Amino acid sequence: MSNIDRRNFLKMSAGLAAGAATGDVLAAAKKEAAAVPALHLKPEKGAKLRVLRWKQFVQGDGDLWLANTKKFTQKTGIEVRLDAEGWEDVRPKAAVAANIGSGPDIIISTFEDAHQYPDKLVDVSDVCNYLGAKYGGWYDAAKAYGIDKGKWVAVPMGCAGNAVVYRESQVKAAGFSSFPTDTDGFLKLMQALKAKGTPGGFALGNATGDGNCWCHSLLWAFGGKLVDTKNNVAINSPETIKALEYAKELYKTFIPGTLSWLDPNNNKAFLSGDISLTYNGISVYYAAKNSTDPKLKAMAEDIQHAHFPVGPVGHPTELHLFFPMMIFKYSKYPNAAKEYLRFMMEKEQYEPWQQAANGYVTQPLKAYESNPIWTVDPKNTPYRDAMKIMIPNGYAGTMGYASAAAMADFIVVNMVAEAASGSKTPKEAAERAEQRAQRYYKV
Amino acid sequence: MLPSTVLLLLFLTYPLGLGTWLGFTDAKIGRAGHFVGLDNFIFLYGDAVARLSLFNTLFYTIVASSIKFALGLWLAILLNQNIPLKSFIRAVVLLPFIVPTALSAIAFWWIYDAQFSVVSWALMKMGWIHSYIDFLGDPWMARMSTIIANIWRGVPFVAICLLAGLQTIPPSLYEAAAIDGARPGQQFWYVTLPLLTPIIAVVMTFSVLFTFTDFQLIYVLTRGGPLNATHLMATLSFQRAIPGGSLGEGAALATAMIPFLLAAILFSYFGLQRRAWQQGGSDK
C-alpha cells in the first residue's frame, strides 16, 4: 500500500467523479482487451479447492456465484467446495487460518485483511496484471487494497457500494425537487424531513458495516482523518470538530433509537416505512423490488438512490465495504486457486453475476462500468461508481494492523455517536478518539 | 491415569496456558508475538474502554446474579410445594435454559428493537407511553435491558438446582422443627437455609462464572454498544483479538478476568462450603 501516492489517488478519484475520461477509459479497455494474450496458469493435477466467502445479502449473488463455480468445475475438472458464512464471521476465520496455517485455499473476506498478513498470501500479480490489462485497469482503491510492497496479494472482488437510499415522494414533500449533493443542503433536507414527520436515520451502534461506512465518509467529508500520511494520529483537529458539530445537528433529525442500531436495523426500519432515508447497499431496493407484497412493490417505485453528500473538502469521500479474495500460502493448489479467481473475474462470469446480484457488488475493474445492470434501471446507477470514488480504509495513512484494529474497535463510530448524542462535547469526543487511536498507531 | 492426564493437558492446560502466555506478548493475527511483559496490562489499565468494560462486567454480574439467586430460590420453594401439574410446570420452567442463547438473544433483540419492540407497541396501544422506549439506545437502559435478558435465561438453572437441593432435605427435620414450635420463617432460616448452603455455593459459583463470562447475549443484542455501555470483558476481548487482530491485547483482557473468577470461586468455597455448623459444630 505504501507505494500508492494518496494525493494522486485523490486527484484521480475527484477527476473521475466529475465525469471526465470515462469514455476514453472504456474505449481504451476495449482496444486492450483484444490485445491481451491469454494467461496460461497450470492448475496442479488432481487439484481440489475449498473456498470460503461471505454469505450473500441478495439471493441472486449467492446463486450465480455458485453456478459460475460449477461452470468452472465442468471446464477444468477441478472440484470446488464453496462455503458461505455471515460476513462478520469470515474475518476472524481468515485471521485464524492465517495464524495457524491451515484452512480454505481461498477466502473472500472484507476490507484491509490482505494487509494484515500479506506474507501469508500467495502473490497473485500475474492474475491481477492480466485482468487489469484486459479490462481497462483497476480502480485506484482496488490497487490500494490489493497491492502490498509492489506485489498483488489479493484479487479484488469489488465492494458492496453504499448510497443514500430515500423515498422520492417524501423528499419532494419536504420541499426538495432534487437531491442535495453537498452536506449543507443534506442537513436542510434532513431537517425538513424531520419537520414533516418522516425522519431518516443512520446506524450509530457498533454496526461494523453501515456504522463505519457513513461515519468515516462524514469525517472525511469535512477534512477530518484518523491519521495523516505518515500514520501519525491526526484526529483531534478543527476539521474533525466541524464534522462532529455537523453530526450533532444531523442526529437531531434522526428517528429515535439509532444509537442502538446494528447493521440490519436500518433495512428493517426503511422497509417498514418508519424512515424516509438511510445509508445502505442496494439490498434494501432489491428486497422491495423482488417482494411479492404489493406494498413493498409500491415502495420500490418510490425508492431512489444518491451519493453521500460532498463536504467542504470538495470531493466524494465515500467508504465502502471492500472484498479481497486471498489465496493462502498453505494451499496445496495455488495455481488452481489462481485459475479459479481469474475465471470468476472474466467478463463471461463477472457481468452476469453482477446482474444476478442486481448490482450489489460494484466492480473493481473499469471495463465493467459498461455492464448494462448499471443503466437498465437508472436507480442502480449511483452504485456503479462506488469503487471509482471510494477512499480506502486507514486514510490518509497506510492499511495494516493499526487501521484494522482502529476500525474494529469502532473508534470513529463511537466518537461520532458520543458527539452526536451529546454525551460528550465534540472536543471531548475527538480527544478520546485521539487517545484510543494513539494506542494502535504507536507501534 | 495416563489418558486422563493427557486429556487434561491437551484440552485444558494447554489452551489456558497458551491464552495466558499470549497475554504477555504483542502477538497479532498472522504474526507471532514477542514477550512484552506487563505492557498489555498497563495498556489496558490506561484504556478508558477497558476500564468501562470492567465496570460493566462487575455491575452486570453482581446485579444479575443477585436477582437470579433471589428469584431462583423463590421459584424453587414454590415448585417444592405440592401443586397440580408439578412435573409439567417444572419442565416448563427449564425452557429458557434449554433454548440456545443465540436464539433467545434474537428474540430479545426483537423485543428491545427501537422501531418494532412488542413491549413498546403494547404500551403505546394502551396509551401508557407516547414514544417507543429506547431499550438499547441509552447506556443505562441498555445495561438494564441486557441484565433482564440474562436473568430470564439464568433463573431456571438456579431454580432447578436449588429445587434438587430442597428435595434432599428430609421432611422429618421440618416435623421436628414444627414440634419444637418453629414458625415457617424460622423453619426456613434454621433448617432449609443451612442444609441448602452447599448447593447454593455450587450453584451460585456456576451462575457467577456464567454471568461474568457472558458473550452471546451481548454480542447479539448490542455488540457492546451504545457507546460501549454494555461491553463486557469477554466481548471486548473478542473484539480486540479477532476482528481487531490484536491477539495479545485480547488475550490479556481475557486473562485479566481470571483473578475475578478465582475470587468468586474461593469466596463460595471458603465462605459457604466450610461452615462448621454443617458438621454439627458452631461458628465462632
Residue A271's CATH number: 3.40.190.10
Q: Is B135 on the interface with A (CB under 8 A)?
A: yes
The answer to whether position B5 is within a domain reads no
Q: What is the pLDDT of residue A348?
A: 96
- Judged by CB atoms closer than 8 Å, whether chains meet at A259 and B134 is answered as yes
- The owner of cell 484452512 is A103
* Sign of torsion over alpha carbons B144, B146, B149, B150: negative
Radius of gyration of chain B, Cα coordinates, nearest whole angstrom: 23
Q: Mark whether A209 and A265 lie in a shared domain.
A: yes
Give me the pLDDT at residue A21, please: 45
Contacts by residues A271-275 (CB-CB < 8 Å, ≥ 24 positions apart): A271/A296, A271/A299, A272/B115, A272/B116, A273/A299, A274/B115, A275/A198, A275/A199, A275/A200, A275/A201
The verdict on A297 and A330 lying in the same domain is no
Tell me, yes or no, whether A299 and A335 share the same domain: no
> pLDDT tier at A3 (50, 70, 90 boundaries)?
very low
Q: Is residue A174 part of a domain?
A: yes
If asked whether residues A140 and A171 sit together in one domain, one would say no
Instruction: Determine which of A90, A91, A215, A260 to mutate to test the interface with B (most B C-beta atoms within 10 Å).
Output: A260
Q: CA-to-CA distance for B192 and A50, rounded, in angstroms? A: 60
> Would B41 be classed as within a structural domain?
no
Mean pLDDT taken over chain B: 88
* pLDDT level of residue A17 (50, 70, 90 thresholds): very low
The mean pLDDT value of chain A amounts to: 91
Q: What is the CATH number of the domain that holds B61?
A: 1.10.3720.10
In a domain, B210, yes or no: yes
In a domain, B141, yes or no: yes
On the question of pLDDT at A25 being above 60, the answer is no
> Can you tell me the mean pLDDT for B257-266?
90
Residue A16 pLDDT grade (very low, low, confident, very high; cuts 50, 70, 90):
very low
- A129 and A178 assigned to the same domain: no
A142 and A361 Cβ atoms separated by less than 8 Å: no
What mean pLDDT do residues B106-135 have? Answer: 90
Chain A partners of B247 at a C-beta cutoff of 8 Å? 99
* Statement to judge: residues A152 and A254 lie in one domain: no
Which among B109, B227, B235, B249 is the top mutation candidate for probing chain A, defined by the most A β-carbons within 10 Å of its own β-carbon?
A: B227
Classify residue A428: in a domain, yes or no.
Answer: yes
The CA distances from residue A334 to A50, A97, A105, A124, A331, in Å, are: 11, 15, 8, 9, 6
Least confident stretch, A14-18, A145-149, A278-282, B197-201 = A14-18
Domain that holds residue B135: 48-274
CB-closest option in A92, A261, A410 to B114: A261
**Residues in chain B closer than 8 A to A116 (CB atoms):** 28-30, 245
Band the pLDDT of B68: cuts 50, 70, 90. Answer: very high
In a domain, B140, yes or no: yes
Amino acid B22: pLDDT: 92
pLDDT digits (tens, 9 = 90+) for B16-66: 899 999 999 988 876 778 899 898 999 899 888 999 999 999 999 999 999
B241 or B271, higher pLDDT: B241
Instruction: Out of B30, B136, B240, name the one closest to residue A260 (CB).
Output: B136
Indicate yes or no: CB of A205 within 8 angstroms of CB of B48: no
Q: Is position A7 within any domain?
A: no
Please count the structural domains in chain B: 1
What tens digit of pLDDT does each residue of A285-321 get? 999 999 999 999 999 999 999 999 999 999 999 999 9
Direct distance between the N- and C-terminal alpha carbons of chain A, in angstroms, rounded to an integer: 18
> Taking CB atoms and an 8 Å cut-off, how many pairs form between chains A and B?
126
On whether both A277 and A418 belong to a single domain, the answer is: yes
- Whole-number pLDDT of residue B5: 87
Percent of chain A with pLDDT strictly greater than 70: 92
How far is Cα A28 from Cα A15, in angstroms, rounded to an integer? 18
Domain extent, residue A153, equals: 34-161+323-372
Provide the pLDDT for residue A20: 43
User: Taking each helix axis from N to C terminus, what angle separates A411-421 and A210-221, rounded to the nearest 10 degrees?
Assistant: 70
Shortest distance between the Cα of A421 and any Cα of chain B, in A, equals 10
Which is higher by pLDDT, B10 or A261? A261
pLDDT at B282: 57
Task: Report pLDDT digits (tens) over A98-135.
Answer: 888 999 999 999 999 999 999 999 999 999 999 999 99
Q: Within this chain, do residues A68 and A153 fall inside the same structural domain, yes or no?
A: yes
For residue B10, what pLDDT is reported? 85
Q: Tell me the average pLDDT across A267-278.
A: 95
Question: Which percentage of chain B shows pLDDT scores above 90?
Answer: 49
Which pLDDT belongs to residue A28?
Answer: 55
pLDDT at site A19: 44
- What residue spans of A114-153 are helical by DSSP H? 125-134, 140-146
pLDDT of residue A381: 95
Q: Does A404 contact chain B (CB < 8 Å)?
A: yes
- The 10s digit of each residue's pLDDT in A63-91 is 999 999 999 999 999 999 999 999 988 98
Please tell me the pTM assigned to this model: 0.86
Under 8 Å between Cβ of A71 and A348:
no
The grid cell for B49 is 474502554
One domain for residues A151 and A49: yes
Residue A359 has pLDDT above 80, yes or no: yes
> Same domain, yes or no, for A175 and A228?
yes
Pair (A131, A224) in one structural domain:
no
pLDDT at A5: 52
pLDDT of B131 strictly over 70: yes
Cβ–Cβ below 8 Å for B227 and A269: no
What's the pLDDT at A18?
A: 46
pLDDT at A27 (0 to 100): 57
Looking at the 3D structure of chain A, how many domains does it have?
Answer: 2
Q: Given CB atoms, is B61 within the 8 Å cutoff of chain A?
A: no
* Residue A246 forms part of a structural domain: yes
Least confident range of A26-30, A238-242, B216-220: A26-30
What's the rounded Cα separation, in Å, for the pair B241 and A304?
39
Whether B260 has its CB under 8 Å from any CB of chain A: the answer is no
Express each pLDDT in A167-220 by its tens digit. Answer: 999 999 999 999 999 999 999 999 999 999 999 999 999 999 999 999 999 999
pLDDT at A144: 96
Mean pLDDT computed over A50-69? 96
Of A92, A261, A268, the CB nearest to B242: A92
Q: What is the mean pLDDT of residues B251-263?
A: 93
Grid coordinates in use for B55?
465496570
A310 and A182 fall within a common domain: yes
In a domain, B191, yes or no: yes
Summarize pLDDT for B139-154 with one digit per residue, the tens.
Answer: 999 999 999 999 999 9
Contact B115 A260 (CB under 8 A): no
Alpha-carbon gap, residue A69 to A237, rounded angstroms: 48
